[in-house]
Amino acid sequence: MERRGEHAVVLGASMGGLLAARVLSDFYDRVTVVERDELTDQAVPRRGVPQSRQPHVLLSRCGEIAEELFPGLLGELVADGAHCWNDGDLSRFHVFFGGHLVTRTGSIPNPGALITHHASRPFIECHVRRRLRRIPNVSMLDRHDIVDLTASDGRVTGVLLHRHADHSAVVLDADLTVDATGRGSRTPTVLQRLGYGRPEEQELAVHVTYSSVPVRIPAGTLREHTFARLFEPGRPHGFVMFRAEDERWIVGAGTLGSVEPPTTQAEIVDFGADWAPPDALAAARAAESLGEVCRHRFPANRWRRYDRMERMPDGLLVVGDAVSSFNPIYGQGMTIASMEALVLRDCLRRGDVELPRRFHRASAKKIRVAWQTAVGSDLALPEIPGPRTMTTRLTNAYVGRVLAAAESDPFVAQEFLRVTGMLTTPARLLRPDFVAHVARASRRQRVQPVLAATR
C-alpha cells in the first residue's frame, strides 16, 4: 500500500476502532490505539463498551469483513469455542420477526450464502485485539483518558491525553486522528470550539431498556442457537436466548417506554413464558448464572451528519457509534463499523486529499441503509412516536407480507435474513423472483405461528 503518513491515532478500542486501526496499519508507519479502560488478554466486559454484556451475534457481513481484514480469524473464534451456523438448518432458530415465526422446517436453499457466528461481544473483541497486537506497527495505549484534540492551521494535529498511572498529560501528534469513542464522543463540541460548527443530528427516541444475564447451559441441552421474540405492535417487551461461546448463553429481555425491565434471572425468563418452547424455558430457569443481571438503556437512534458539514478540519475522521447508533435490537453496530473500515481503506487508496469529506460522504451511503431499516422498523411500533411518511407505511406493510411468507418459505426466509445480516440491501426484497415467492406464499394457506412450539 502507498504510504499516507507517519502516525495515525485511533481513539477508542471497541470494534470500530480496532477495525479502523487494522486498515490504517497498511497506510501509516505507526498506528496507536488509545483507550481509557485497561485492555487485558481476557474476554471480559469493560466499562467502555456498556452494551457488551447484552446479547450479540456476529452478523454475516461483519464476519466476512473481519475475516478479510484478519485472515483466519473466524476459524480461531470457532476453535476457541464460538459456534458457527453454516449448514442452513432452519430448526436451529426459533425467531419471531414482527409477530411472525420464521419457518423452522428444512434448510435455506443456499447455506453458503448465510453464515453466522455466535459468541459474546467481549469474546469477539478479545480475539480481534489479539490479532491487532500481532501487527508490528500497531500499539495500544490503554488507561489513558482523552482530554482534547489539538489543532492548528485548519487541521487536527493529534490528541491530548491524561495518563492514569501518574496523572500526567500526554500529547500524541498525528497525521490522522480517528474518533471511535462511541455515543459519548465530544467531537461535536470540539468542532464548535474550533469554529466549524456542530454536525446536524437526526434522532428518533425509542427509550428501550435491556436486561440480561450470562448463564451456563450444558452442551446438548438445546440444539438451537437463538430464541427470540422482539417488540411487536401492542407488545412492548421481548425475550431472547443467544448462544455464545462454549456452554455460555446470554438470556435477556427488553422493554419499551414505561414498561419496567426485569431485575432477576427468573423475571427475565418470565418474559418468554407465553411463547418460548418448554425445554428452552426449563433450560433457562435451571441454568447456572455466570454473572449479575445487567441493564443497558438506549434512549434514541442517532445519526450525526458529518457528511453534511460545510467544513471539516483535515486530519480528523469519525466512525462507529460516534457517528451513528441504532436500536441495539437490530444488531447493526459492529457491522456498520466493519463496513466503515472498508470505506476508509477505499478512500485511503485514492489518497489523503480531502479525506474527511470523501470518507464521511461515502460512509453515509452505508449508514443510510441501516438507518432506514432501524428507524422504519421502530416506527412500525405504535408505541414509538414519530413521523410516519407514506413511504414508511407502505414499506412496513410490504415487510409484513414478506415476514408472513417467511413463515413457510425457506427462500424468503433466506433472503430476508441476508438483508438483516447486511449481506445485501433491502432492494433485494423488490426483485421479481423474490416478489413472486412472496405472492405464492400469500396464496397458500398461511402457517399460523405456534406460541409454545412442540418439539
CB distance 43 to 67 below 8 Å: no
What local confidence, expressed as pLDDT, does residue 260 receive?
84
pLDDT the model gives residue 228 = 96
The answer to whether residue 446 scores a pLDDT higher than 70 is no
Instruction: Give pLDDT tens digits for 255-295.
Output: 998 888 899 999 999 999 999 999 999 999 999 999 999 99
What whole-number distance in Å separates Cα of residue 87 and Cα of residue 144?
Answer: 44
Q: What is the reported pLDDT for 211? A: 94
Q: What pTM, to 2 d.p., does this model score? A: 0.93
CA-to-CA distance for 242 and 228, rounded, in angstroms? Answer: 8
Residue 41 has pLDDT above 90, yes or no: no
Cell of 68: 478479510
pLDDT of 447 reads 47
Lowest model confidence (mean pLDDT) among 38-47, 353-362, 389-398:
38-47
pLDDT in tens, 308-325: 999 999 999 999 999 999
Q: How far apart are the first and last CA of the chain?
A: 54
> What is d(CA 83, CA 217) in angstroms, rounded to the nearest whole number?
14
Residue 106 has pLDDT above 70, yes or no: yes
The residue behind cell 427516541 is 205
| Nearest alpha carbon to residue 319 among 6, 103, 11, 53 | 11
DSSP 56: -
Rounded Cα–Cα distance for residues 300 and 282 (Å): 34
* Cα–Cα dist 135/214, whole Å: 32
Per-chain mean pLDDT for the chain:
93
- Grid coordinates of 384: 414509538
- For the four alpha carbons of 148, 302, 293 and 246, in that order, the dihedral sign comes to negative
Q: Please, which residues have CB within 8 angstroms of residue 232's CB and are 6 or more apart in sequence? A: 96, 98, 99, 381
- In order, the DSSP letters of 279-318 are HHHHHHHHPEE-S--EEEEEEEEEEEEGGG-S---BTEEE
For residue 419, what pLDDT is reported? 94
- Categorize the per-residue pLDDT at 452 as very low, low, confident or very high, splitting at 50, 70 and 90: very low
What single string gives the DSSP state of each residue in 138-172?
EEEE-SEEEEEEEEETTEEEEEEEEETTT--EEEE
Burial state string for 115-133 with b = 16 or more CB within 10 A and e = fewer than 16: bbbbbbbbbbbbbbbebbe
Residues β-bridged to residue 298: 208
pLDDT at 346 over 90: yes
User: In the chain, pLDDT over 70 holds for what percent of residues?
Assistant: 97
d(CA 181, CA 201): 17
Which of 225, 214, 366, 221 has its CA nearest to residue 290? 214
Determine the length of the chain: 455
Residue 199's alpha-carbon distances to 56, 267, 307, 312, in angstroms, are: 30, 41, 8, 10
Q: How is residue 180 written as a grid cell?
A: 471511535
Pairing of strands 83-85, 116-118: antiparallel
pLDDT tens for 177-208 read: 999 999 999 999 999 999 999 999 999 999 99
Residue 455 pLDDT: 39
Say if residue 453's pLDDT is above 60. no
Helix (H, G, I), strand (E, B) or coil at 366: helix
Pairing of strands 138-141, 28-34: parallel
How many CA atoms lie within 13 Å of 163's alpha carbon, on the beta-carbon side? 8
**Which residues partner with 170 through β-bridges?**
161
Say what percent of the chain tops pLDDT 90: 86
The answer on pLDDT for 72 being more than 80 is: yes
Q: What is the per-residue pLDDT for 259?
A: 83
List residues bridging with 297 in a β-sheet.
209
Per-residue confidence (pLDDT) for residue 454, from 0 to 100: 40
Tens digits of residue pLDDT in 148-187: 999 999 999 999 999 999 999 999 999 999 999 999 999 9
pLDDT band per the 50, 70, 90 thresholds, residue 131: very high
Beta strand 248-256 with 294-305: parallel, antiparallel or unpaired? unpaired
Which cell is 450 given? 405456534
- C-alpha 409/C-alpha 428 separation (Å) is 16
Residue with cell 432506514: 372
Mean pLDDT across 450-455: 44
Mean pLDDT of 371-391: 91
pLDDT classification of 368: cutoffs 50, 70, 90 = very high
